[in-house]
């Protein structure tokens, strides 16, 4: 069903083990995971800061769709230093999400997830907690666990190396029980399961 089914739940539980996540949410595609997860936490007036480049679909969503809903985006070059990232985050009380693809598609640049965590903690306020989201599609859960490096949420296109056999289209979001519960409300209503 659109809410859940046993097969979905078994796969979510198994996939969460790879990443050491409390909980995961399975999606019908990587873009379903990217868009639904972002929309779960961003509101009009918020800003998403991302490491450039990101996957083309994600880029289109950030540059052309989020602004339609009053959500701004700005970016630093993937692989930027902490100081370069900080310049976009400090003095901007609208920053809500720091979004990294590491390695980035297609340049395979590596971004400093730990530095993004430190900036998120430093510039969060009691009523605006900055979230670190990492698309780990290109490294996969065997070789990198962004949650252990400080990410709040890790996103996958399972269509690619996660699935590994060119025989499926799917996506995941993984994180704490509380964050994934919020993501699953959006998944249910947007229908991106």
Ligand X SMILES: *Cc1c(COP(=O)(O)O)cnc(C)c1O
Site of interaction with ligand X (CB under 6 A)? 29-31, 34, 55, 57-58, 101, 105, 135, 137-138, 157, 159-160, 169, 171
- Cβ proximity of 42 and 62 under 8 Å: no
To ligand X, the closest distance from the beta carbon of 122 in angstroms equals 27
Helices (H), the chain: 6-19, 30-41, 56-60, 82-89, 113-123, 146-149, 177-190
Do residues 31 and 60 make contact, with C-beta atoms less than 8 angstroms apart? no
Question: Residue 57 or residue 150: which is nearer to ligand X going by CB?
Answer: 57
Measured from the CB of residue 123, what is the shortest distance to ligand X in angstroms? 26
User: How many alpha carbons fall within 13 Å on the CB side of residue 33?
Assistant: 27
Query: Toward ligand X, which CB reaches closer, 86 or 112?
Result: 112
- In whole angstroms, how close is the CB of 58 to ligand X at the nearest point? 6
Dihedral pair phi/psi, residue 40, rounded to 5°? -65, -25
Of 26 and 86, the one with the shorter C-beta distance to ligand X is: 26
Residue 41 or 99 with smaller CB distance to ligand X? 99
Q: Which residue is nearest to ligand X (CB)?
A: 30
């Amino acid at each position: 069903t659109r809410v859940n089914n046993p097969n979905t739940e078994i796969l979510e539980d198994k996939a969460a083990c790879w990443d050491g996540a409390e909980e995961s949410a399975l999606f019908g595609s990587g873009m379903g995971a990217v868009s639904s997860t972002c929309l779960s936490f961003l509101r009009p007036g918020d800003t998403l800061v991302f490491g450039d480049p990101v996957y083309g679909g994600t880029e289109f969503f950030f540059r052309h769709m989020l602004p339609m809903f009053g959500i701004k985006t700005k970016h630093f070059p993937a692989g930027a230093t902490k100081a370069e990232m900080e310049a976009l985050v400090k003095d901007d009380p609208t920053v809500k999400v720091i979004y990294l693809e590491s390695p980035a598609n297609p340049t395979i640049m590596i971004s400093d997830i730990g530095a993004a965590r430190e900036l998120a903690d430093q510039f969060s306020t009691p009523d605006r907690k900055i979230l670190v989201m990492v698309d780990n599609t290109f490294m996969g859960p065997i070789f990198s666990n962004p949650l252990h490096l400080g990410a709040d949420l890790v996103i996958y296109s399972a269509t690619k190396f996660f699935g590994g056999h060119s025989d499926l289209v799917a996506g995941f979001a993984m994180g704490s029980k509380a964050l994934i519960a919020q993501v699953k409300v959006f998944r249910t209503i947007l229908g991106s399961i």
